[in-house]
């Protein structure tokens, strides 16, 4: 893990198995950070989801996924209170999504102004007074989190409530979550807590529980905001195998430098040959 000095790296662990879809996190995020309205009561045809996705005006997004329940007979055990087999009912999968604050953050690599920076807490923040609206960070993000705000052209995303962290408070979304689905703390401690939670769910007969973004060896070096999911990442609208989009930049620059040096040598040789 990267060295952030004496301050441990902070982050989010979102346990979707206890998310009730109340959207308290969305409201708290908007209120504390002054995030503009993002569509209000638009009916998107996506269950109770009226924000759609993360963006410049949605720094927390609660996803609602409705899945048909398997009939009790398919589970191999009696299910007291289960719907009739011809009406299996619906299983709700809910998840409060947010910027992942990647260990290897491509948005940092491509920002030409230094607007994006790594804080002492290990989080990634956009400085709005420096952002020039170039938009390079938008396609660089493997999760599609960052977006330019149409009203002023600058890029916006979750700051993990950097101002609150500096004052010794937890982020507004975690503070507002009534079920502790969103947990904030030191990243290493959260990873241990998440591992234990998965083991508990597996022992309780929930074998599909898995962690997403927890592995420091994944394509982005592990996420500062990771999740416990109850289905494949794609079901929640998450990429199954995210990779930092700038991983090949060092090799590309090296090849470009070699090519440029070769061209320079060829031009010099041609020039000297003509002089003779």
Summarised one tens digit per residue, pLDDT across range 17-71 is 999 999 999 999 999 999 998 655 566 666 778 888 999 999 999 999 988 876 5
Structure tokens that stand for 214 in this block: 């927890």
Structure tokens that stand for 224 in this block: 């500062």
What distance in Å separates the CA atoms of residue 133 and residue 116, rounded to the nearest whole number? 12
Sign of the four-CA dihedral 222, 227, 231, 233: negative
| Short-list 142, 104, 124, CA closest to 233 | 142
Query: How many degrees, rounded to 5, is the angle at CA 98 between CA 50 and CA 118?
Result: 145
Span of 68-77, 176-185, 217-226 with lowest mean pLDDT: 68-77
Classify residue 16 by its DSSP letter.
G
| Short-list 156, 158, 118, 163, CA closest to 137 | 156
How much is the pTM?
A: 0.80
Quickly list H helices, the chain. Answer: 24-33, 106-110, 137-140, 162-166, 172-176, 187-203, 249-275
What distance in Å separates the CA atoms of residue 209 and residue 237, rounded to the nearest whole number? 17
Query: Which amino acids are annotated as binding site, given as ranges?
Result: 19, 22, 25, 29, 99, 102, 107, 111, 131, 134, 137, 141, 158, 161, 173, 177
Confidence of residue 5 (pLDDT cuts 50, 70, 90): low
Query: Which amino acids are annotated as binding site for [4Fe-4S] cluster, given as ranges?
Result: 19, 22, 25, 29, 99, 102, 107, 111, 131, 134, 137, 141, 158, 161, 173, 177
Chain centroid to Cα 199, Å, comes to 23
Chain centroid to Cα 25, Å, comes to 15
């Amino acid at each position: 893990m990267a060295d952030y000095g004496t301050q441990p790296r902070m982050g989010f662990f979102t346990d979707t198995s206890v998310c009730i879809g109340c959207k308290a996190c969305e409201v708290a995020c908007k209120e504390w950070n002054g995030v503009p309205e993002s569509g209000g009561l638009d009916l998107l045809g996506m269950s109770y989801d009226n924000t759609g996705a993360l963006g410049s005006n949605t720094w927390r997004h609660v996803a609602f996924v409705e899945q048909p329940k398997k009939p009790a007979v398919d589970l191999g055990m009696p299910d007291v209170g289960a719907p009739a087999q011809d009406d299996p009912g619906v299983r709700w999968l809910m998840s409060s999504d947010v910027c992942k604050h990647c260990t290897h953050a491509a948005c940092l690599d491509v920002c030409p102004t230094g607007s994006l920076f790594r804080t002492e807490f290990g989080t990634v923040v956009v400085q709005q007074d420096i952002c020039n609206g170039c938009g390079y960070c938008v396609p660089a993000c493997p999760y599609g989190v960052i977006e330019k705000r149409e009203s002023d052209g600058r890029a916006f995303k979750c700051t993990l409530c950097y101002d609150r962290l500096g004052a010794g408070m937890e982020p507004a979304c975690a503070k507002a979550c009534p079920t502790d689905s969103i947990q904030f703390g030191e990243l290493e401690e959260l990873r241990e807590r998440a591992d234990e939670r998965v083991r508990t769910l597996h022992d309780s007969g929930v074998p599909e529980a898995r962690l997403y973004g927890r592995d420091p060896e994944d394509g982005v070096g592990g996420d500062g905001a990771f999740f416990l999911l109850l289905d494949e990442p794609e079901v929640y609208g998450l990429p199954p195998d995210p990779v930092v989009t700038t991983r090949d930049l060092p090799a590309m620059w090296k090849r470009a430098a070699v090519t440029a040096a070769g061209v320079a040598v060829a031009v010099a040789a041609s020039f000297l040959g003509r002089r003779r």
